[in-house]
A and B are shown apart, each in its own frame.
Chain A
């Protein structure tokens, strides 16, 4: 997909603003490079040596000049810093109501899972005009999810979740690249983002194999792996109830409070002894190696749903 010869297509809500900053930086670069080149060239010609014994007078320096060419670049970079930072901050958190899609990178492919259950390999269908938040992890080494047309990029790491978001503004198919060297076929870890009109996207979602949603798969895993045995919804189990937990603060035995985000939930499954909920004992076994990254994200999707429910009334007694 070819945009202008100098830049990729502008296909997201932030592409234009990133490009404007880029144009400004390009203008500054060309301007100062030209100024330096021209001044040097001018001096080279004007002050070329005219006789072998020429000895020009010494000029020590000039404090006013030093101040001038310190202050002006400082102001200039301050402007660029603020501009770049503001844009970055604005783009760091997705707006509400984002479509949440899970991405797993592995050598050398991208695996995508829609909450409705649709799976894709090396392709990501998204609706036009709606914010899309990707929650990503890697099964092996560090990868990087890069969509030039959207001007977004984020590393994808093993053992944790990273996220990025975008909102597509143009229907079309756009390059997806892995941008963190990951081994032999790093160059082959490419794909496409397919932006569709919302109704077409719904049709696409509904079409294909009528699979389960991620939440449904996650719920099944929750049962089959035995999680439900201890994590009883009404709080009478050996482990804490998970209703109303995701996205809320959790008190730990150390006295600290953790935020039950993606990373916390994942850690609780693979390294349960790392943080113990206040009032409980470290008896939960680890499920590291027993669930694939995709199964973990399925369970995560289920836990997110549970997180929206009302927690049970607090218990009085602590179980031994």
Chain B
């Protein structure tokens, strides 16, 4: 009997692997390396942010004071909770509990949606306050008073970074939501068991990463300088 015939068969085992264990280790290493590339990607933006914040601290502080810290904090809690539900869904998959897996995945999606809705509300607020670079940049009144000391031009730079960083993050969240939906559809069929839960773990790692990026974004964008 050739090796091919002797190999264990599992519907989820891809042809290039010897066994599920090799496949799972490979997939996990793959997602970790992908996350490293994401760190370098966001890292470039964070580096540029750091340089301009150092150069124009007063403007960045003023811009930061325009953001709604309550909404930002709420979003932070929402994402942290979503990482919890995500980790619980991985655990459920590991123990082969189909209903829990689906339930926690759906919970993660709900929390992710709440995050995106709150983000949408915040973006809308920026339009109302006319602090959207180029598209609607006409800060007035109290808003203007907050950013004028640091220089309105440099405050626009702050908002460029605000939108670029949170926007990129939101795009990653939306992609994450798509991945979660895919997992839900597979989980409902009972695909994931103690021997095969790789995809859930991989998406889980991605989701945690997106969460961690927000954990950095929140203080860097919302909590500059003293407050209240």
CB atoms of A and B under 8 A apart anywhere in the complex?
Answer: yes
Chain A residues within 8 Å of B, Cβ to Cβ: 271, 273-274, 282
Bound-complex Cα distance A282 to B151 (A): 10
Instruction: Establish whether residues B56 and A282, one from each chain, have CB atoms under 8 Å apart when the complex forms.
Output: no
Instruction: Establish whether residues A271 and B153, one from each chain, have CB atoms under 8 Å apart when the complex forms.
Output: yes
Identify 7 residue pairs between A and B in the complex whose beta-carbon atoms are under 8 Å apart, listed by A's number: A271-B154, A273-B148, A273-B149, A273-B150, A273-B151, A274-B151, A282-B149
Bound-complex Cα distance A273 to B59 (A): 10
Name the CB-closest residue of B to A274. B151
Q: Which of B115-151 contact A (CB under 8 A)?
A: 148-151
Tell me the dominant secondary structure on chain B's binding face: helix
Chain A's nearest CB lies how many Å from the CB of B146? 14
The 5 closest A-B pairs by CB, nearest first: A273-B151, A282-B149, A271-B151, A274-B151, A273-B150
Q: Which of B148-172 contact A (CB under 8 A)?
A: 148-151, 153-154
Name the CB-closest residue of A to B55. A274
Instruction: Establish whether residues A274 and B149, one from each chain, have CB atoms under 8 Å apart when the complex forms.
Output: no
Bound-complex Cα distance A274 to B148 (A): 11
Bound-complex Cα distance A19 to B150 (A): 49
Bound-complex Cα distance A282 to B150 (A): 9
Which chain B residues border A282 with CB–CB below 8 Å?
Answer: 149
Which chain A residues border B153 with CB–CB below 8 Å?
Answer: 271
Which chain A residues border B154 with CB–CB below 8 Å?
Answer: 271, 274
Name the CB-closest residue of A to B153. A271
Which chain B residues border A271 with CB–CB below 8 Å?
Answer: 151, 153-154
Which of B56, B58, B148 has the most chain A CB atoms closer than 10 A to its own CB? Answer: B58
Bound-complex Cα distance A274 to B155 (A): 11
Name the CB-closest residue of A to B150. A273
Bound-complex Cα distance A282 to B148 (A): 10
Bound-complex Cα distance A282 to B153 (A): 15
Name the CB-closest residue of B to A253. B58
Bound-complex Cα distance A273 to B56 (A): 10
Chain A's nearest CB lies how many Å from the CB of B91? 51
Chain A's nearest CB lies how many Å from the CB of B80? 35
Which chain B residues border A273 with CB–CB below 8 Å?
Answer: 58, 148-151
Chain B's nearest CB lies how many Å from the CB of A98? 30
Name the CB-closest residue of B to A270. B153
Bound-complex Cα distance A271 to B151 (A): 8
Bound-complex Cα distance A174 to B199 (A): 68
Which chain A residues border B148 with CB–CB below 8 Å?
Answer: 273
Name the CB-closest residue of A to B148. A273
Bound-complex Cα distance A273 to B154 (A): 10
Name the CB-closest residue of B to A275. B58
Bound-complex Cα distance A310 to B150 (A): 31
Bound-complex Cα distance A273 to B58 (A): 9
Q: Which of B38-58 contact A (CB under 8 A)?
A: 56, 58
Contact string against A for B residues 189-216, beta-carbon threshold 8 Å, 1 for contact and 0 otherwise: 0000000000000000000000000000
Bound-complex Cα distance A227 to B219 (A): 41
Name the CB-closest residue of B to A282. B149
Bound-complex Cα distance A271 to B149 (A): 12
Which chain A residues border B150 with CB–CB below 8 Å?
Answer: 273
